[in-house]
Chain A
Amino acid sequence: MSEQDVARTGKKRRQSPLGAGTPMCAGCGGLQALHQIYDLVGDKTVFVNAAGCMTLLSIYPFTPFPGSWLYTAMACAPAGAQGVRDALDVLLSKGRIRPEQDQLPVVLTGDGSAYGMGLSATSAAIDRGLDFLYICYDNEGYGNTGHQYSAATPTGARTATSRVDGYSGVKKDLFTIWSAHRPAYVATAIGTEPADLARKVKKALSLRGPRLLLVLAPCPTGWGFEPARMVEIGKLAVRTGIWPLKEYSDGAVQHTMVPSKRVAVEDYLHLQGRFRHLFVPVRNDDKLAALQLQVDDYWSHID
């Protein structure tokens, strides 16, 4: 990604195709990423949405999307994309629409759908080689229902259903689950690294078949931080190595931004209310060390 590309993205964003004035929270990292992605995927798309925060983007009679939209339900957005794709293919092959009227089905869901309720529908869509783009904004919990833990919640994070000691499970590795299906493309990304994100969106758009953009979405409301700190927290997620930026294509995984010197994990954790119990009233050295170890262990396998 060149500086010029970034500049172009930035310029486009000033007359952002995706409209403003949505009911999303201030400082929503998911919405930040969506703006950048939408700049590139454009309006010849049908966004197929599952229940979650972003469902409220389109509330009758308003929508920020200059392209099309179909809300489905929590479990089945990929199946909705299948129906749209199949129908468009039928219309094209029977000459009932012109090729320039074709569109890309784009699934837009949170982690609750992507890692959990919708995983079976997703896996099957990949099996079928569905030509679609999946955008998961991963806010690491069931955001729309008040941020209960999901399969994407990191160890130790307090959520509405892990209020005392934090989440006892381990964040599910959706990137690897997707990659194991050998789809066209899988990438992790984050809105606070716009150059990396833009390059991945373009790469995804250049391919056909099942494609995932798994975007970490710093969530002021669910994670407990001031909206103004969203960019800082997003950057730290990458610099601490907690959120590795990588991509899968042609059977190989590549890291796209390897932090040269990783910042200590606790620098990321202590900014967020969901991890405050690890620092006050007394510092929990054991748990902090364990969290650091998880990250170190991950990177020790990456050259």
Chain B
Amino acid sequence: MNLSPETHSIQSQLARYCRDGILTELSGARAERLPQYRRLVFNIIQDNIESAYPIAFKYLEKEIWNVLVYDFFSTHECQSYQVWKLPKEFMEFVVENNYQEKYQLPFLNDLLGFEWAEMELYNTTDIPYEYGSLNDDIFNGTISFNPEHLILPLKYPVHMVPPAKALELKGNYFVLLFREKETGKIQFVDLSVWYAFLVEQISQNNVTVTELIEYAPQLFGTISIEELKASTEQFIQSMIDKGFVTEIK
């Protein structure tokens, strides 16, 4: 190790100060200039987190938001070398430390999860896929979906209504997010538990709609198979229209 313990410790002190803003004496430094570093570093952190979570930032009281950001940056060791991924670590920190209970914001984890999912999917590495023929039988053909998608389970419908309203609508929600091939834009679709199950099974296990419908009574109890078939056909058709279905063969 070429670096002396003293130099190492000086470097650590400066970095620590940039993270927690607590000024201690730093040898051979101009004390009045040090706050510039704290300000510049912390601005980058704040800006990145704010721009990844515009809804949460707008909805949370400023004081609470500032506590979250401060606690995060002063105690968490940021691991990603890419600053755009920093907000993911922020979300994980907020979830792990259960701030939603501490500040009685029961929708907080859902909201951060939803906002991050959009950002991550928007930027995520391309998965190659092509559009093929869509003419085959919806029920018995093999359906392929746009692989650039994810399904997020939520307790509060933060994908549909503002947080205050979402609070009154606790339930089991699923939102499908997928990235449009041409524009790269993210589309959201609210899914019932049945359609969430359907999309997940088809994309992971290569099963047909007919096979899944046969299985439905075990999952949902007494249901009308005919009605389920009709509504499922409508659902698949709407997903074809949205460009989420890439091929049926």
Chains A and B are bound partners: no
Spell out B's residues near A (CB within 8 Å): none
